[in-house]
Every structure is written in C-alpha cells, then in structure tokens.
Amino acid sequence: MKYPLAYDTWDNQEIEAIQEVIKKGRYTMGPQVKKFEKEFCDYFHCTHTVMVNSGSTANLLILGTLAEKYKLRGNIIVPTVSWSTTYFPLHQYGFVMNFVDIDKDTLNIDCSKIEDSINSETCAIFAVNLLGNSCDYVALKKIADKHSLMLIEDNCESLGSITNTDEYCGTVGEFGSFSFFFSHHLQTMEGGMIACKNKDDADFIRSMRAHGWCRDLEDGNSIYQKTGNAFHDSFTFITPGYSVRPLEMSGAIGSVQLKKWPTMRKGRLENADYFVEKFKDLPVTIQKEIGCSSWFSFSIILEDKLANCRDIIITALIAKGVECRPIVAGNFMKNPVIDTYQLKYIANGDYKNTEKIDKDGFFIGNNTKDLKENIDLVYNTIRECLGHLEM
C-alpha cells in the first residue's frame, strides 16, 4: 500500500526496552507495567490507572465492574457507531444496548437524542470518542447528573484528545478505556489501560485482571482483608476474574512511546490541518472537532454527486494504493452477530445519520509522519472520480 492506515512508530528505543526486559528475565506483568501505569496516570491526569492486554478487555473489565461490584442492571445508552468490543461486554454481562443515533458532523453520539431514549431501566451512558474526536461532555455530564446515570467512556481511538470541559478524553467518566494496538496512537504490540476515579474500583479491576485473586492488592485495601500470610493469600480468589494481564515488554514499550507522544501528536495535528484545508472544496463531510481532536484518522462522508458512489471511490483509491475502511463498524445494528446471537437492544426511531455514514462513509489513515503527498493522492483521486460522475 502506498498510503496504509497505520505506520510503525518504533525505533531503537523500543527495541532496547524489550532487550532490557529480556535481560531481567521477567516477561509477564511486573515493575515495567507498574511504572508505565504511573507515568500514564500522571501524564493524562487520571486518578487511578490499571493496564491490561487490550482496549477490548479494558471495556470488558469496566462492564464487569458495573455488573459485579455496582450490581447495575438494565440498559446502557450507546452510540450506533463504534467498534464491536464496545458492545460485546454489554451482552456478556446481561445489559441491553440502548442505541442512540450519531451526529453526522462529529460522528459521536447525538446528545440531543439521548434523553428521549432514557427509560426507567437505563443505568449508564457509554460514551465513545470516535476516530480521535471528543464527545460533547458538557451535554453528557449534564444528562448523566440529571438522570443519576453512570458515565463511562470508550476512548480507545482518542488518546490525547481534549474535551470541551478541558479534560483529557477517557478521564471524564467514572471509567475510561484506552488501546495501544499497532494502529493506535501509542503502540505497545498489544495493550490497553483503564482509568478510574475510585481506588476501590481500581483494586477490583486489578483482581479481575489476574484470575480474580487478591495477590496484586496492597495490604490495607478495602476490597479484601488479606491475611498477611503470603502462602495463604497467593491463591485466594475474591472477584470473578480473567487472565488479561499485559506483558512486561508492553509496559516497557509504553514508557518509551509516552515520551514520544508530544512529538507524535504534533505530527498528527499538522496532517489534520492540511487535510481539513485540502478537502474543504469537495462535496464531502469531514469530522468536526469538539474540543481538540487527536485525529486518529480522516473520515470522509460522500455528499451531493458523490453520494451513493462509495464503491466507485473505494475501488479507485485501492487501485492507487490507498488503504480504506468503513467508519468503524458502520451501523452496528446491521451486523450479523446481532441476530445470530440474539444480542438484546433497544431501537429508538430514526437513525438517519448512522444510515448515511453506513452507506457513504469511510476513513483513511493518519500518523505522525508528513502525509501531505498521501492526502493529495486521495484528494486528486476523488476529484477525478467526481469529474467522471459530472460528465
């Protein structure tokens, strides 16, 4: 691919970090993971952080905490457009997905439609910051407070984005998830992080992360009173757990990547400025920022004469070596898994914006390197297609 979705952001520093872990001989979760958790927590002004092996399992443990620790039941407000593992933990823990349409300009949940979707069984709002862009947290916090709903965040695509409440995305709600997969802002091979406000929640998640045991909890924690006998405490299980610990290598790489983040962020924003300026004269909708986006990628929604021509555009772009994807999972209600596995959901009337991006939307990649030539290639290809359609 001439213009791939994602690029490797590693250099010798990450390789050296891996070698240091190998020299010490401890590969599973240990001091490097703990160090990265603290650095991440400090950098993004979190209250508490717990590293896991992916953003998907971060979502799983967040929903597990809501169900098991807080005993929440019922339905949770979710946007119709997100990644699959935003939704699957709801199903796995018995929650009903309460789907709300997105705003076509921001691609995030349409806050003006949330209150009409809330019912007596609604217990939380799961806000998703899509493709680097913040949700409207002024509105979301007001709605959550008014209806006594827990606010949680899937921030796997939007690390480093800043909200319209002047906070980092992923740190506003009671819980926030982050992903460090190869195509994301920080790349630790595989990895994820959970930010939470409450130490008891963090301790509950630490137990769930590693089999449900108490071993990783500090003495004097509020979740479980340890005996003080290391033998007896080693295999004592106190929560319904998993094995979703991160590798020590991923923690070490995360520390290196985090030091690079200011420079990497600058490169992404420079590419975004060029993209926004370049595409303003085409009949397309591009993502409108709320707060300050970290520009995970560049979304394009085809309008006017380009509408209903996505297959033509995608075929032309792929032929030029441009890698493209739908806008995340499109309308998730249309995915076969919904009917095949009878995922429970509530539909709330009109989903016209979701249908529009499902039919006419796609995205191309962003990264830290200069992408002006790549962006020009996409622009010129779409401009050429438009010329043919106008003939």
Distance CA 251, CA 32 (A): 5
Helix%, strand%, coil% for the chain, nearest 5:
45, 15, 40
Task: List phi, psi (to 5°) of 94.
Answer: 85, 10
DSSP H or E segment with residue 100: strand 96-100
Q: Is 184 a catalytic residue?
A: yes
> Which residue bears the tokens 């405490």?
233
Query: d(Cα 46, Cα 364) in Å, to the nearest integer?
Result: 30
Catalogue the long-range contacts made by 380-388 (C-beta closer than 8 Å, 24 or more residues apart): 381/313, 381/316, 381/317, 381/320, 381/322, 382/282, 382/284, 382/300, 382/306, 382/313, 382/316, 382/317, 383/282, 384/316, 385/306, 385/309, 385/312, 385/313, 385/316, 386/282, 386/283, 386/305, 386/306
Q: What's the CA gap between 228 and 18, in Å, rounded?
A: 34
Strands of the sheet containing 345-346, edge to edge, are: 48-52, 192-196, 175-179, 150-154, 122-128, 75-79, 96-100, 345-346
Order across the sheet with 297-302: list the strands: 284-285, 297-302, 361-365
Q: Which two tokens stand for residue 54?
A: 């992916």
Q: Residues 216, 220, 225, 230: is their CA dihedral positive or negative?
A: positive
- The one catalytic residue in 48, 184, 185, 388 is 184
DSSP 256-316: HHHHHHHHHHHHHHHHHHHHHHHGGGSSEE-PPPSSB---SEEEEEE-GGGTT-HHHHHHH
Residue 177: C-alpha distances to residues 155, 207, 283, 296 (Å): 5, 17, 34, 15
Helix (H) or strand (E) holding 124: strand 122-128
Q: Looking at the annotation, which residues are catalytic?
A: 184
